[in-house]
Structure 1
């Protein structure tokens, strides 16, 4: 689902100013965690810049604005196999939104940068909250600043006959989508710079 105007353009600009390196320093290039926990570059799958910014206050503020738009049967997951898979149903589990993940990932795509088709990674935090179910992707600028760079969802990205869903960046808007089997990509930016933020909806078992 998409939600418009979660932040104002001014709030988006303030947020970018808050997390950006001082003196216009370069953003770090995004890496991948290898099997031995080392960080490696993998330009075949992703080529963009990324900053991690941890803030409970900011995550809580964002959730406060997002939560009224989320349907009740997604706020509390019970017998929802499309989102959770079958195991929580077999175990008769119920999961409820508890917070957003405090580690916020800010992404910067310049011309020629992209993120190839993938499913989002999942986390279990120390308090037992898990991010297995939903991603929040917030756009910090829009189509007036960038060409290309849509968020594209598809089953078969290589087949031009297969249907695809493109979400265009809109400053202050976001897209919320399930993590299970939801393949998506950040299409290559051809002009300008695209800024986004990604985090996870954390659920607790009740």
Structure 2
């Protein structure tokens, strides 16, 4: 585990350069994708050029070089990882990302459809008299997960777990920042892989006791194009809800994929609803 990356008094990320690449934030409208029947109300977005190539290199360098193999569940997940505890980098990346997030994901409360899909009703029901639960976005957890995928590495379909160190703070969103490019296609026309792929709800369930019918259903979904890909692109951030949004890291076939994964944390508050 690497320690906090710091550059003394200098900010880890400089101010936004108006002459640099335009930052473009795009909400994924699942209702206009092959996954409309599964995820139309759900939240995901892409932020292009969140970081410059030089900033991506600095983020990678902050992780150090102590990569460890990460293998789980009969090749369910294969990649290399460095866990870095870095409050400074967590804060810097959160501050860069925050202006591009929509206001409706910054405060989650009962009665708002998007909030209920992101947080789940059980997390929104608590109250104190007339005051109701509100989860307010704080920023990235200080634990950063750096991931390196070499050819053959992958992460099969899953949902991200909500991280909750105590009952007053909880993660509801994942932010994945791609730190290097992967060529979209090779000279032979084959995809280089490494996409983050959103799948229909519950795809791949029951992997430990897989029935042949389940495998056939999954293959039919692949062949029918019932998925949505987000391609790795240097400086691109993918932000999405952790609850019930099935996704995979597709096998890397050429090159290497570098990402840093952040848990976006919320603090629990009680507030009186506005009349």
TM-score (norm 1): 0.87
- Whether 1:13 aligns to 2:76 is no
Work out the CA distance in 2 between the residues paired with 1:11 and 1:90: 41
Alignment of 1:90-105 (within 5 A): 90-91=125-126, 92-105=132-145
Work out the CA distance in 2 between the residues paired with 1:4 and 1:100: 18
- Whether 1:148 aligns to 2:179 is no
- RMSD, matched Cα: 1.9
Tell me which protein shows more strand as a share of its residues.
Answer: 1
Aligned to 1:107: 147
Instruction: Please give the per-residue CA displacement for 1:132-156, whole angstroms capped at 9, x wherever unaligned.
Output: x110101001133881100000114
Aligned to 2:123: 88
> Is there any run of 5+ residues in structure 1 with no aligned partner, and where?
32-40
Report the CA distance between 1:6 and its aligned residue: 1.3
Aligned to 1:55: 86
Work out the CA distance in 1 between the residues paired with 2:268 and 2:47: 26
CA contact (8 A) 2:69 2:80 kept: yes
SS in 2 for 1:202: strand
Give the counterpart of 2:97 among 66, 69, 78.
66
Alignment of 1:164-175 (within 5 A): 164-175=227-238
Instruction: Please give the per-residue CA displacement for 1:92-128, whole angstroms capped at 9, x wherever unaligned.
Output: 4210001211000000000011001111122222583
Report the CA distance between 1:18 and its aligned residue: 2.3
- Whether 1:134 aligns to 2:134 is no
TM-score (norm 2): 0.66
Q: Judging changes above 3 Å, is the alpha-carbon distance between structure 1 residues 145 and 20 closer, same or farther for their aligned structure 2 residues?
A: farther
How many residue pairs align between the two structures? 192
- Whether 1:182 aligns to 2:213 is no
CA contact (8 A) 1:78 1:89 kept: yes
SS in 2 for 1:10: helix
Runs (4+) of structure 1 moved beyond 3 Å?
none
